[in-house]
Amino acid sequence: MSEAVIKHIADPHPVTGVTNSKLGIWCFIASEVMLFGGLFSTYILLRTGAGADWPIGSDLLNVPLATLNTMILITSSITMVMAWASLTINKFGAYKKYMTLTVLLGVAFLIVKSFEYGMKFEHHIYPSKNNFYAIYFVMTGLHVLHVIGGLVVNLYLLLPGSKLWHKAPEQFMGRIEAAGLYWHFVDLVWIFLFPTLYLL
């Protein structure tokens, strides 16, 4: 029974060229594309249905704050890559530093977002006000949930999960790469959300 080992946890499959976790995360991202694809389709349908009644996003939403948040998320994507790159050159200390930065930037995004939501609630603007706010709150809310999910994973990989580096560095790097792919995807969703909701 010593042979009951699952293959390709750390070594890439010769045909697909990736490990299990990387293939898994790509499949997961494919389903996420369908999820947000459905939401963007909903946005298009509601907007074309409303015609001239649909408001211009920049008149109602806080564009400077959202721009700031865009910067924060893009920066966090860069630090995420730096964290992974540090591991490839065997610098665990640098990994810790960049991963901490990634987590902090994610938290910063959430803080800015909560200010944005708070300002809307102060003016008694809730999702029920009209369909523009409805789709705004649902799409950004769902994105926020994805950010929180990413933060939990990154925090795990920063603190208790990082022990794996000393036991199985290849596998640990695979995990960082998978978490990174997910984090970039969350970033990418925001890059679509920002112009769609705030600018158009």
- Which residues bind to other proteins, rule: CB under 8 A? 1, 3-9, 13, 16, 20, 23-24, 27-28, 30-32, 34-35, 37-39, 42, 45-46, 49-50, 53, 126-131, 134-135, 137-138, 142
Q: Is the CB of 103 or the CB of 179 nearer to other proteins?
A: 179
Shortest distance (Å) from residue 125 CB to other proteins: 12
Q: What is the DSSP letter of 11?
A: S
Q: Is the CB of 75 or the CB of 130 nearer to other proteins?
A: 130
Shortest distance (Å) from residue 18 CB to other proteins: 9
Q: Is the CB of 32 or the CB of 116 nearer to other proteins?
A: 32
Give the helix ranges, DSSP H, for 51-91: 57-60, 63-88
DSSP 24-49: HHHHHHHHHHHHHHHHHHHHHHHHHH
Closest CA to 12 of 23, 1, 3, 2: 23
User: Could you give the CA distance from residue 125 to residue 121 in angstroms, rounded to a whole number?
Assistant: 5
Shortest distance (Å) from residue 71 CB to other proteins: 28
Shortest distance (Å) from residue 52 CB to other proteins: 12
User: Could you give the CA distance from residue 54 to residue 46 in angstroms, rounded to a whole number?
Assistant: 9
Contact criterion met (CB below 8 Å) for 60 and 132: yes
Contact criterion met (CB below 8 Å) for 148 and 103: no
Q: Is the CB of 93 or the CB of 123 nearer to other proteins?
A: 123
Shortest distance (Å) from residue 39 CB to other proteins: 6
